[in-house]
Each structure stands twice: as C-alpha cells, then as structure tokens.
Amino acid sequence: EHMPDLVVVGAGLFGLTVAQQAAERAGAHVLVIDVRDHIGGNAYSYMDEETGAEIHRYGAHLFHTSNRRVWDYVNRFTSFTGYVHRVYATHDGEVYPLPINLGTINQFFHAHYTPAEAKALVEEQAGELAGTDPQNLNDKGVQLIGRPLYEAFIKNYTGKQWQTDPSQLPADIIKRLPVRFNYDNRYFKDTWEGLPTDGYTAWMERMAADPRIEVRLGVDFFDSSQPWNKAALVGKVPVVYTGPVDRYFDYELGDLKWRTVDFKEVRYDEGDHFGCPVMNYSDADVPYTRAIEFKNFNPERADRQNPDRTVVWQEYSRFAERGDEPYYPVNTEADRKLYAAYEAKAAAEPQVVFGGRLGTYKYYDMHQVIDTALTAYDERVAPMLAR
Ligand code: FAD
Ligand code: NA
C-alpha cells in the first residue's frame, strides 16, 4: 500500500488536531488509526435512542478554556451551547451546591453568615491543626477548611475516588480546597465554556473531514498482522503516537499507574431524575462517587428528548489494571520517575512524536490537549513533513 506522509496513532483530540493541521497546512496525506471502533478518543459521545440523551461514553466532558488560540480553533469545527457547569452534592439527606460556597456553608450551619463571618468561622475551624505538618489527607483537609466542612464534603468522596481510607492517603493529594465566600457556584472560572451544539462526535468528525485525512478504526498499532504497525512504520514514516507510553515500549521499565472509572447505567420512568446533570455523593454509604444525568447537559434539546424517561450513569472509581481504560494518572513520585525514564526513551525514537494524555502520562483537559497538539505540530511535526 502507498505510504502516507504521516501516521497518527489515536483518533482522540490530540491525534485529530495534528492530523487536521498536517493536512491543511502541509498538504500531507495523513492516516489516522485507532484500536477502538469510533473516533474521538475519550471525548466520544453517542445519542441514546430511548431518552434523546447524548451519552459521553468515557465520562462527562465539559469544554472550557481561557486560551484564545484554542477557542478560535475549536470554533472552526463546532459552535457551543450556553451550558454553564454546576455541580450539586448529596450529604446526610440534603442536597448542597458545590464547590463549597456561602450557600453550602449557610445551609450546612443553618445560618445566615455574611462573607466575612463565614470566612472567620472557616479560619477558626481550620485553626484546629494550626502549626502542624499534616501527614495524611484527613489532617490536611482539616487544616485547609476545618473539620466540619472537610468531613461532610471532602473526606468520603476523596476516599471513594482512591478506594482508600483518607487517614491512609498522603496529604499531598490535595494542595488546596477552594471555598468561595459568596454564592457563586459556577464550576469553571474560564473565559469560555459550553458543549458542542450538535455533539462531540460531530465536532470531531469535522476535524477529520479533510479528504487528505483517512481514518481507519479497529486497527491496533501493536498488531503486526496488519500493515500499519509499529515495526513496519517507525523510522520509515513520521508517526504521532497518542497511546500509552509504557505500552509502546512493551512495559519494559514497568507499568505507569492509572485510576479508571466503571459506569453503571440506570434508567428511570421520569423525565428528570435529579434536576441537574451532576450529583455528587459525599457520604460513604453510597458506593459510587457521583451520578451523571446526561439529558440535563442539553436543556436546549428538550423538544427532542423523551419527556417520560431518563438515563443516569453512576461512577465507581478504582485503580486500573492493564487492559482497563487508563483515566487519571496516579502520579506518585515513583510514577513521575518512571515516566521520566520512558520520556527519555521516547525522545530517542526516530521520527516519532509522543503526545496527548496517554503518550505523556499527564492529566490534560481537552483544551490543554488541543493546545499542546497545535504546539507539537508547529515545533515537531511540521519540520518532519518538510524533509
Ligand atoms: P484519548 O482521547 O485517550 O485518545 C487516544 C486514542 O488512542 C484513543 O482513542 C485510543 O483508542 C487510541 N489508542 C491507544 N492505543 C492505541 C493503539 N495501540 N493503536 C491504535 N490506537 C490506540 N477534559 C475536559 O476538558 N473536560 C472534562 O470535563 C473532561 N472530563 C473527563 C472525564 C474523564 C473520565 C476523562 C478520562 C477525561 C476527561 N477529560 C476532560 C479529558 C479529555 O478526555 C482528554 O483531555 C482528551 O480526550 C485527551 O485526548 P487524547 O487524544 O490525548 O487521548
Ligand atoms: Na477524511
């Protein structure tokens, strides 16, 4: 078969951004392969026929950015709805707004504190462990926001995320716990946010629409029985690799650690179960961390949604094994050292650019992945194509 000018491994946002740039700016013929049966990587979504909900297959995805270059770029392929992200939490039989704000505090203490009074109270409660050097998550949390709020809203949620009792979790999992001393419960602080008007998958299909881009699905880069595999390509054609960096080297230095999420789908005979898209569960008695009601991400589609049925996904967090979907880097000191060793090997690979969250072992939001892909194209891919 005819060799493309560039092979991109992974049809996620990193791979699609590089492919789009290479086709448009260098006129390159780009082959994008993905082992999955769909494009879009973890940002992929599909329409649920029964309810009319757009289900984010790999967990809820909210687009937000303050980066002008990224915002201009993504708007070439999709418009965005006016969705503004807000999260609520169930604790001890009541629903509270998050992140912790004056509304949360006044509801929790059955009070009507002013911002200054609430701030003084939280500081006083945080003073319980003043001057100590917290060694575990509980002590750190108490020191940041005081015991009552920490134990109600942070302790058990974080414990469920890590499947570990917070007294056994290292203090540095949490650097800061933002508390807002006003009623603003808008989740993101970015200049722009919203959801793609006709869905994530339509957005990403448009990124691949250039006729010089060919996407082949169900193709594993490490399967030597198909022509577009590692041994056949590396050193012969420029490659952009967005799969796991440890997998690329056959885990020869060890496995990088990740957390993953299992989803349990529940359907209800109601038009609206929560009245919001995201409900966190702050207490230990509910085994999942949060539940997503996808219909409520897109209220502007009400006329195309089923008024009598809704679908909810409950999220269970756990450590990933090989073969699970790697979602969040665990990122201990040992992991960072191991990644540095893989990174050195990656840098020595001929004509291979490692990118994206799996290729660089980093938690990136979508806007960060797109930004790093635009930079990687300019600095590393374009020079290879010019040769
Ligand atoms: P991916 O999307 O993972 O794409 C990599 C692709 O490579 C995959 O499609 C994979 O199948 C393919 N691949 C891997 N190995 C091979 C192989 N051997 N052969 C062929 N193909 C291969 N970001 C936000 O901005 N807002 C959010 O609200 C948000 N929520 C998130 C929630 C969860 C649960 C997760 C996990 C992530 C979330 N993100 C969010 C981050 C977002 O998903 C990523 O920033 C983005 O999707 C990463 O793009 P990528 O191209 O780097 O990786
Ligand atoms: Na195409």
For a mutational test of ligand 1's pocket, the pick from 223, 366, 367, 368, i.e. the residue with the most ligand atoms closer than 8 A to its C-beta, is 366
Top-tier CATH class for 6-39+208-257+330-386: alpha beta
Q: Is the ipTM of this complex over 0.95?
A: yes
Single out the residue of 5, 2, 24 nearest to residue 208, CA to CA.
24
Cα atoms found within 13 Å of the Cα of residue 156, Cβ hemisphere only: 20
For 305-341, write each residue's pLDDT tens digit.
999 999 999 999 999 999 899 999 998 889 999 999 9
**Helix crossing, 200-207 with 13-26: angle to 10°?**
30
Cα(171)–Cα(45) distance, rounded to whole angstroms? Answer: 35
pLDDT tens column, 31-73: 999 999 999 999 999 999 999 999 999 999 999 999 999 999 9
Residues with CB under 6 Å of ligand 1 are: 9-15, 33-36, 41-43, 58-63, 220-222, 242-243, 261, 327, 356-358, 364-367, 369
pLDDT at 70: 98
What's the sign of the alpha-carbon dihedral 379, 384, 385, 387? Answer: positive
Per residue in 153-168, pLDDT tens?
A: 999 999 999 988 999 9
Compute the half-sphere exposure of residue 309: CA atoms within 13 Å on the CB side of its CA. Answer: 11
DSSP label at residue 272: -
- Ligand closest to 45 (CA) is 1
Number of H helices, E strands in the chain: 14, 16
Which residues are known catalytic residues?
176, 180, 259, 290, 315, 363, 365
Check whether 128 has a pLDDT greater than 70: yes
* Average predicted confidence (pLDDT) for the chain: 96
Give the pLDDT of residue 271. 97
346 phi/psi in degrees, rounded to 5: -60, -40
- pTM, two decimals, is 0.96
Task: State yes or no: pLDDT of 259 exceeds 90.
Answer: yes
pLDDT score recorded for residue 1: 60
Q: Residue 213 CA: which ligand is closest?
A: 2
Q: Is the pLDDT of residue 223 over 90?
A: yes
Question: Which residue's CA is minimally distant from atom 43 of ligand 1?
Answer: 42
Spell out where 131-252 has E strands.
Answer: 192-194, 213-217, 239-241
Q: Which residues pair with 264 in a beta bridge?
A: 314
Q: Mapping DSSP to helix (H, G, I), strand (E, B) and coil, where does residue 305 land?
A: coil
On the question of a cis peptide bond just before residue 99, with omega within 30 degrees of 0, the verdict is yes
pLDDT surpasses 70 at 238: yes
Q: What is the mean pLDDT of residues 185-209?
A: 98
Confidence of residue 111 (pLDDT cuts 50, 70, 90): very high
- Burial class of residue 285 in the structure, from the number of CB atoms within 10 Å of its CB (0-12 exposed, 13-18 middle, 19+ buried): exposed
Which ligand neighbours the alpha carbon of 217 most closely?
A: 1
Q: Which residue has the tokens 């100590």?
A: 132
Which percentage of the chain shows pLDDT scores above 90? 94
- For atom 31 of ligand 1, the residue with the nearest CA is 61
Q: Cα of 187 to ligand 1 centre, how many Å?
A: 22
The set of residues, in sequence order, having a beta carbon less than 8 Å from that of 221 and lying 6+ positions away, is 9, 33, 35, 228, 229, 230, 241, 243
Domain ranges of the chain: 6-39+208-257+330-386, 87-173
Q: Cβ atoms within 10 A of the Cβ of 96, count?
A: 22
**Residues with Cβ within 5 Å of ion ligand 2?**
213
For residue 216, pLDDT beyond 80: yes
Q: Which of 242, 256, 316 to mutate to test the pocket of ligand 1 (most atoms within 8 A of CB)?
A: 242
